[in-house]
């Protein structure tokens, strides 16, 4: 479904659907049906009652607006939801209506419904991360020999390869994906605790019913109810924050490389993508922009979620009630960043000629470090540093190449061979371990991807 206008650049269509009113309502209905079935399996409620509840839930037409109207007065949406559903069940089977929501509390419904939504969102985010990883691995291989300026503090620095840059993006995304998988695995558990987290109303059947409920919903079964212990969800929120930060860093790099003055990369274009309402020539980096806007939102959302984790005793007043909109926005922003950067990477244009041109535009000044390394063994580091300071000032002032300037300095020519100066500004000769780092990053990512695919 399409997102609301106010959320239209804050989520994807698929994730908007996951957190839509109909989806939330469906998740709450699934909980109530699964609870009745689990309790019938254990023998706490009649099987006929569970069957009747399930039949009504399948055909009941509940208007989400009827629930939202009463949510503020009730304190949460579950109370009016259960009342409306019970009325539907009563109209079909009055005896079964008495067994609806048996032994559960409102937070059991809301927490488990949220977990069911997170389970759907997990697969969507994972698919886009996989797309992104494949695209970045391909880019890295294609441009393993593409030299470009390194940039430190926004200034030109010794060369790197675009293949290493892409592999470094990939490494961060892959590490974040691994953390996120673990966080989802921990968080996708059922919630059932009843009034005070003891399931006293279910006698000595509480554990059995919880496990049966988890089986019905295909969720994990916790060791105990977690009403005011939000550490698993908080960990998930933090992992989303780290992943989105890594995607935002990638987006920041691409927006800078795509600047008109730089023009080393360009995002994919197409009808309606990246245009301007006033400047027809524009090809705006909209995918990176979406990832950056998501990263800006998510950091605050993570903080808000962590603030809500300080919850009192066995049921919080204001803590868990704050989480639904925070987590929904957080997950959608994370998913948007992943989907946006996957699309960017799959269609990214890389201008290797422009990269080399921008490197050459420095007239060799970025190789001053290399020249100092050549001179230091015989001249001493401090003296070599002073010589290079003078030489680079002349490079800037005279518009000449560093090697040319150095070749006219007797204190230099007496220390190094002419051939060393000729090779000074060849970027391929000053890449150090760039290729080893790149291949190692790709190798680790490939290993983790294979391990991920083998998991059930």
What DSSP state is assigned to residue 189?
Answer: B
* Residues sharing a CB contact under 8 Å with residue 220, sequence separation 6 or more, in sequence order: 185, 188, 189, 190, 214
Percent of the chain with pLDDT over 70: 95
- Mean pLDDT of the region 434-455: 83
171-217 pLDDT tens trace: 999 999 999 999 999 999 999 999 999 999 999 999 999 999 999 99
- Mean pLDDT of the region 406-433: 92
62-106 pLDDT tens trace: 999 999 989 989 989 999 999 999 999 999 999 999 999 999 999
CA distance 24 to 69: 16
Residue that is written with structure tokens 């006293």 in the block: 200
304-323 pLDDT tens trace: 999 999 999 999 998 888 99
Nearest to 230 by CA among 241, 242, 238, 218: 238
At 448, the pLDDT band (50, 70, 90 cuts) reads confident
Please give the domain boundaries of the chain with CATH numbers for all domains.
15-102+201-225 (1.10.275.10), 365-424 (1.10.40.30)
Residue that is written with structure tokens 């009113």 in the block: 21
Task: Write the DSSP string, 214-242.
Answer: HHHHT-B--SS--TT--HHHHHHHHHHHH
pLDDT score at 216: 98
Residue that is written with structure tokens 């190798």 in the block: 443
35-65 pLDDT tens trace: 999 999 999 999 999 999 999 999 989 999 9
What DSSP state is assigned to residue 2?
Answer: P
CA distance 132 to 345: 6
pLDDT at 276 over 70: no
Q: In the chain, what's the furthest Cα-to-Cα distance?
A: 103
Report pTM: 0.91
At 417, the pLDDT band (50, 70, 90 cuts) reads confident
The conformational region for residue 158 under phi > 0 = left, psi -120 to 50 = alpha, else beta, is beta
CA distance 126 to 118: 12
CA distance 151 to 362: 12
CA distance 335 to 298: 11
pLDDT score at 388: 93
* Residues with catalytic roles: 276, 315
List the end-to-end C-alpha distance of the chain, in Å, as a whole number. 30
CA distance 423 to 123: 51
Q: How many secondary structure helices (H) and strands (E) does the chain include?
A: 19, 4
**Phi and psi for 147 in degrees, rounded to 5?**
-85, 150
The first and second tokens of residue 361, run together, are: 């535009």
pLDDT at 155 over 90: yes
Task: Write the DSSP string, 250-286.
Answer: HHHHHHHHTSTTT-SEE----TTSS--SS-TT----H
CA distance 245 to 346: 20
Which residues pair with residue 148 across a beta bridge?
160
pLDDT score at 1: 61
CA distance 13 to 11: 7
pLDDT at 425 over 80: yes
Is 175 in a helix, a strand, or coil? helix
Nearest to 433 by CA among 240, 191, 161: 161
Alpha-carbon dihedral 130, 136, 139, 145, rounded to 10 degrees: -140
CA distance 152 to 248: 18
Give 42: exposed, middle or buried? Use CB within 10 Å, 0-12, 13-18, 19+: middle
Altogether, the residues listed in the chain come to a count of: 456
pLDDT at 277 over 50: no
């Amino acid at each position: 479904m399409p997102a609301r206008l106010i959320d239209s650049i804050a989520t994807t269509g698929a994730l908007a659907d996951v957190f839509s009113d109909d989806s939330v309502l469906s998740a709450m209905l699934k909980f109530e049906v699964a609870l009745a079935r689990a309790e019938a399996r254990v023998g706490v409620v009649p099987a006929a009652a569970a069957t009747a509840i399930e039949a009504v839930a399948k055909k009941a037409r509940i208007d989400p607006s009827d629930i939202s109207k009463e949510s503020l007065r009730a304190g949460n949406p579950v109370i009016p939801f259960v009342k409306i559903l019970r009325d539907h069940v009563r109209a079909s089977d009055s005896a079964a209506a008495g067994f609806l929501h048996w032994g559960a509390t409102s937070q059991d419904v809301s927490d488990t419904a949220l977990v069911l939504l997170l389970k759907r969102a997990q697969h969507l985010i994972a698919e886009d991360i996989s797309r992104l990883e494949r695209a970045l691995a391909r880019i890295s291989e294609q441009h393993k020999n593409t030299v470009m300026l390194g940039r430190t503090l926004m200034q030109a620095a010794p060369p790197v390869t675009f293949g290493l840059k892409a592999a470094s993006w990939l490494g961060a995304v892959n590490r974040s994906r691994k953390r996120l998988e673990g966080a989802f695995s921990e968080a996708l558990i059922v919630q059932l605790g009843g009034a005070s987290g003891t399931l006293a109303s279910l006698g000595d059947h509480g554990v059995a019913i919880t496990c049966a409920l988890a089986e019905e919903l295909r969720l994990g079964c916790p060791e105990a109810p977690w009403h005011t212990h939000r550490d698993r969800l908080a960990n998930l929120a933090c992992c989303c924050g780290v992943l989105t930060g890594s995607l935002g860093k990638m987006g920041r790099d691409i927006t800078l490389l795509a600047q008109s003055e730089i023009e080393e990369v360009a995002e994919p274009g197409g009808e309606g993508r990246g245009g301007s309402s006033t400047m027809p020539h524009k090809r705006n980096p909209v995918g990176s922009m979406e990832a950056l806007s998501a990263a800006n939102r998510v950091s605050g959302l993570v903080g808000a979620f962590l603030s809500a984790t300080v919850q009192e005793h066995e049921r919080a007043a204001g803590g868990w009630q704050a989480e639904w909109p925070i987590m929904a926005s957080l997950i959608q922003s994370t998913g948007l960043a992943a989907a946006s950067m996957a699309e960017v990477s799959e269609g990214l244009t890389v201008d290797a000629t422009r990269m080399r041109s921008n490197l050459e535009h420095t007239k060799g000044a970025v190789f001053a470090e290399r020249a100092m390394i050549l001179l230091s063994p015989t001249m001493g580091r401090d003296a070599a540093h002073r010589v290079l300071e003078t030489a680079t000032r002349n490079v800037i002032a005279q518009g000449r190449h560093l090697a040319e300037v150095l070749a006219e300095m007797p204190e230099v020519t007496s220390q190094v061979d002419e051939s060393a100066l000729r090779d000074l500004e060849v970027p391929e000769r000053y890449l150090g371990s760039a290729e080893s780092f790149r291949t190692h990053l790709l190798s680790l990512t490939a290993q983790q991807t294979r391990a991920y695919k083998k998991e059930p």
